[in-house]
Amino acid sequence: MVTIKQISEKLHLSPATVSRALNGYPEVSARTRLLVEDTARRLNYRPNQLAKKLATGRSGMIGLVLPPSPDQSFDPTFYDVMTGLSRRLTELDLDLVFHAPVLEDEVEPFRRLVGKQAVDGFIVTNPKLSDPRIEFLRSDGVPFVVHGRDASPAPDYAFFDIDNFRVGYDAAKLLIDLGHRQLCFLNGPEDVHFSFERRRGFEQALRDFGSSPVFGTVRHGRMTETYGYMQALAALSEPENARPTGIACSSTIIAAGAMRAIRDKGLNIPADVSVIAHDDAPPQVHAMGFDPALTVTFSPLRDACRPLADILQGLLNGDNLAGLQVTEEAELIVRQSTGPSPLSKQVQGQTA
């Protein structure tokens, strides 16, 4: 392995100058810089990361801990985040160190990594409404950025989130605008912030557009196809006057289940029942291809990776927190799975 010292000797320069030249410091002449850069290249010099890190006090490692999962199954969205994150961090010359917690203690990997001084910061995914990992990192003063957020009304940490209130709001609004008066929202788990926000948005829309009364029920659960199927089936089995004509889903996977249930009931989409979902574009489900094409609020998870990485870097550079709390809007894309309520003739006048 070729070191800075070797280069300096070869060039009759001091290691200090070589280091400066390679790291773009101004106090080195252009000629010397070129010379150094050239020899470094020719000698195929690679700075020893460890030495660099020891000297600078930065490890260049970012901790990523697999979020705890209720059953031991895998959250496919995490995979998406992980790969996207890795790619972006690589560009920033940071590395991802991955840990899977032993199930009992979700904080332990963080404690361990912090104790070892092995990482400069963390990315926290799938935060709970009240999350012990966030609590720990905050109290320990370790830099971290959250994908999503916890329940605190004004978080004092860096995060990247989408406007989940709007997701719920827009879904409900669209359905209401189409004349639907009996809605059902198949939301995510009850203990995560995004579900909470979407529910708030959903219910706010019910209130805002309730010139004629609109009814909506919200159901919570793990976002699986089965959950979507079962809950939609249950909703559609209600007596006629409580049966939803518009179903909002917190994920495309849920929507897949819901649509299956609708069909099993002998109903048509969107003639009898409209379906809208939030789509964060997990590749598995995208490939599925919905028929009819699904109306969604759209915000690809992968798109979150770049900001997440960049926010973290900002954090490490000591940037102001204000710029490191990002909330993005999801895009409403209307396709064929939503249409006017089958009962809309009765209420059209009131809506318009």
Tell me which residue has tokens 């919905």: 290
Residue from 2, 22, 92, 97 touching a second copy (CB under 8 A): that is 97
Q: Applying CB under 8 A, which of residues 29, 48, 130, 237 lies at the interface with a second copy?
A: 48
Sole binder of DNA in the list 9, 10, 29, 64 (CB under 7 A): 29
28 or 158: CB nearest DNA: 28
Q: Which stretch binds a second copy (CB under 8 A): 18-26, 88-96, 169-177, 214-222?
A: 88-96
Interaction between residue 283 and a second copy (CB under 8 A): yes
Rule CB under 8 A: is residue 102 a binding residue for a second copy? yes
- Cβ-based neighbours of 311, under 8 Å, separated by 6 or more: 145, 158, 159, 160, 324, 326
Q: How far is CA 183 from the centre of its chain?
A: 26
Asked whether the beta carbons of 282 and 263 are under 8 A apart, the reply is: no
Q: According to DSSP H, which parts of the chain are helical?
A: 4-11, 15-22, 30-42, 49-56, 76-91, 108-115, 132-140, 164-177, 193-208, 225-236, 252-264, 283-286, 302-316, 344-351
Residue whose C-alpha is closest to residue 242's, from 213, 211, 265, 271: 213
Please identify, using beta-carbon distances, which residue of 12 and 116 lies nearer to a second copy.
116
Strands 144-147 and 295-298: unpaired
32 binds DNA (CB under 7 A): yes
Q: What are phi and psi of 225, to 5 degrees?
A: -60, -40
d(CA 253, CA 13): 62
* Stretch near a second copy under the rule CB under 8 A, chosen from 64-72, 144-152, 211-219, 326-334: 64-72
The one segment of 1-9, 96-104, 283-291, 334-342 that binds DNA by CB under 7 A: 1-9
Kindly state whether residue 23 participates in binding DNA, applying the rule CB under 7 A.
Answer: yes
Burial 122-142 (b: 16+ CB within 10 A, else e): bbbbbbbeebebbebbeeeeb
Q: Is 34 in the site for DNA (CB under 7 A)?
A: no
- Phi, psi (deg, nearest 5) at residue 73: -75, 170
**Can residue 5 be called a binding residue for DNA (CB under 7 A)?**
yes
SS3 292: coil
Give 111 or 138: the residue with its C-beta nearer to a second copy: 111
* From the list DNA, a second copy, none, partner contacted by residue 19 (C-beta under 5 to 8 A by kind): DNA
Residues that bind a second copy (CB under 8 A): 1, 46, 48-51, 53-54, 59, 61, 64, 66, 71-74, 76, 79, 82-84, 86-87, 90, 95-100, 102, 109, 112, 115-118, 283-284, 287
- Provide the binding-site residues for DNA, judged by CB under 7 A: 1, 3-5, 8, 12-17, 19-20, 22-23, 26-32, 45-48, 51-52, 54-57
